[in-house]
Amino acid sequence: MSLTVPALVTASAGAPFERATIDRRALGPGDVLIDIAYAGICHSDIHQAREEWGTAIFPMVPGHEIAGVVAEVGDAVTRYAVGDRVGVGCFVDSCRECETCRAGEEQYCLSGNVPTYNGRDADGTPTYGGYSTQIVVDEAYVLGIPEGISLDVAAPLLCAGITTYSPLKHWKAGPGTKVAVVGMGGLGHLAVKIAHALGAEVTVISHTLSKKDDGIRFGADHYETGDRETLKRLRGSFDLIINTVSADLPVDAYLRALRLDGTMVFVGAPENKQSFRAFSLIGGRRSLAGSNIGGIRETQEMLDFCAQHGIGAEIETIGADDVDKAYDRVVASDVRYRFVIDTSTIPAR
């Protein structure tokens, strides 16, 4: 029998969140039932809840930065037991057969993975995310949260952490490399911590200097603003630029800040088209790239790496009544540095 679970629901694009209940599927043999403790608010939740990326599925329960504890396991589950601390990220299933799934890169599943929310399960049922008290997920798409990271600061690692860890590893950030992180919000602040822990020389490029002290505390070696003059001074500086900005950027000026063979990676996903001049690439054999979250295996590797290096998100914990306000604050770049919903505040009182 399916489970009825309290959740925060938005009825249509931009509508305020309301307390309601949703149905979760009955626990299957390979499934894990998770009592959700915390759910992070990712800017992608806002893009989707406001339909900035195109048509979305409503009613919607966002949330793909989920941390909690296993409450029940199906008969065939082998990886997790009741009481384990676990997480769920941006997808809850994939085809498991295509080239990319077999390579452990399920985020690029050729038939499209099943997003944790604003998606549909194989049987067509809409998926609902982490702004809720419980979720049922196939154990193959559940992550273990290591001892040593508390669940609240671990939740944002499930999207913001892996989205920055994956390109930093892919493009080999480490000792001797110069990495710029553009935008120091939810993704950006974790990019700074992770790039620093990997041994890279890290520069933040923010649109103000207001978060400079924090950036240096998170491990940045330099902190700059992205104005025209500064970007001119930074020409030829970086091996890797991780762009986490959710809005439009002067792409050419950033490309020219790359060294020979440098790469600028978009993880930020603005709603508008971005443009650049071919000469900005040609002039330094530069690359412009994109990166999408990370696979299950790499997400576990990232969680273990963060535990080992004492990395968690900087969070502001909020209750169910504060989510609409939090969305506005994220859009205004007024978040230090991730909002996390305490899901015990979701059930109607």
Instruction: Summarize as ranges the residues that interact with ligand NAP (CB under 6 A).
Output: 42-44, 47, 159-160, 163, 183-188, 206-207, 211, 244-247, 267-269, 291-293, 330, 333, 335
Residues 338 and 313 sit within 8 Å (Cβ to Cβ)? yes
Q: What is the SS3 assignment for 315?
A: strand
Cα–Cα distance measured from residue 48 to residue 54, given in angstroms and rounded to the nearest whole number: 8
Residue of 95, 216, 289, 307 that binds Zn ion (CB under 5 A)? 95
Q: Which does 94 bind (CB under 5 to 8 A by kind): ligand NAP, Zn ion, none?
A: Zn ion
Residue whose tokens read 């996903």: 269
The token pair that represents 108 in the structure block: 């690029």
Residue of 159, 184, 288, 306 that binds Zn ion (CB under 5 A)? 159
Residues 143 and 296 sit within 8 Å (Cβ to Cβ)? yes
What 8-state DSSP symbol labels residue 120?
B
Residue of 5, 22, 41, 42 that binds Zn ion (CB under 5 A)? 42
Q: Which does 251 bind (CB under 5 to 8 A by kind): ligand NAP, Zn ion, none?
A: none
Cα–Cα distance measured from residue 326 to residue 202, given in angstroms and rounded to the nearest whole number: 28
Q: Which does 95 bind (CB under 5 to 8 A by kind): Zn ion, ligand NAP, none?
A: Zn ion
Residue number, 7 or 335, with CB nearest to ligand NAP: 335
Which residue type sits at 142? V
The token pair that represents 161 in the structure block: 């952490």
Residue number, 37 or 159, with CB nearest to ligand NAP: 159
The token pair that represents 15 in the structure block: 């509508």
Q: How far is the CB of 300 from ligand NAP (least distance, A)?
A: 17
Q: How far is the CB of 57 from Zn ion (least distance, A)?
A: 17
**In the chain, what's the furthest Cα-to-Cα distance?**
63
Nearest residue to 221 via CA among 247, 246, 199: 199
Residue number, 44 or 118, with CB nearest to Zn ion: 44
Q: Which stretch binds Zn ion (CB under 5 A): 89-97, 125-133, 272-280, 302-310?
A: 89-97
Q: How far is the CB of 161 from ligand NAP (least distance, A)?
A: 10
